[in-house]
Amino acid sequence: MSEEIIGVAYPVPSNLLDRIFKEEKDVFIKHPTCFKKLKPGHKILFYASHEIRAIVGEATIKNMELMKIDQIYEKYGDRVFITKEEAKEYTKPLEERRTKGGKPRDIEFIVMELENPIKYKKPYKPRRFIPVGGKYITKKEYEEIKKK
């Protein structure tokens, strides 16, 4: 019997998390990995990569869609947690690898509008590594995190 999926944990460089928790940037974008089982109402847990290496907070997914970079910034502007330039820099390696018929394909992001971001008082060190693409979180795992 599979566990009920209630969200996802994504690694985010530690220095960018304050944009979500303090600057109230409420639009999170990521390359579309580990997202097909997600829906509005699910949780997104933020795994602070680099020096902290722990889950440091969460938010609820209000809305989500696949979009190209220009569409994202046209619709959401400065609500996005990274700048358009940072997003373009982030996609450079993918653009160099992904070609179709000799032309680069447009890169899409999963775009998640967030609500109720909460920074945990104490970081939670997961038992297992959170891969770059993210990891689905089950109800049981989430309850364990909330206990600590």
Domains held by the chain: number: 1
CATH number at residue 124: 2.30.130.30
Angle at 90 between CA 88 and CA 94, to 5 degrees: 95
67 by DSSP, 3-state: which?
A: strand
| 3-7, 106-110, 117-121: segment of lowest average pLDDT | 106-110
All residues at 6 or more sequence positions from 70 whose CB lies less than 8 Å from its CB, including other chains: none
Q: Which of the four pLDDT bands, split at 50, 70 and 90, describes residue 91?
A: confident
- Domain of residue 99: give its range: 5-147
Which pLDDT does position 107 carry in this prediction? Answer: 81
3-state helix, strand, coil in the chain (%, to 5): 30, 40, 30
Task: Name which residue leads in pLDDT, 1 or 67.
Answer: 67
**Chain-wide mean pLDDT for the chain?**
89
Which pLDDT does position 127 carry in this prediction? Answer: 85
pTM above 0.75, yes or no: yes
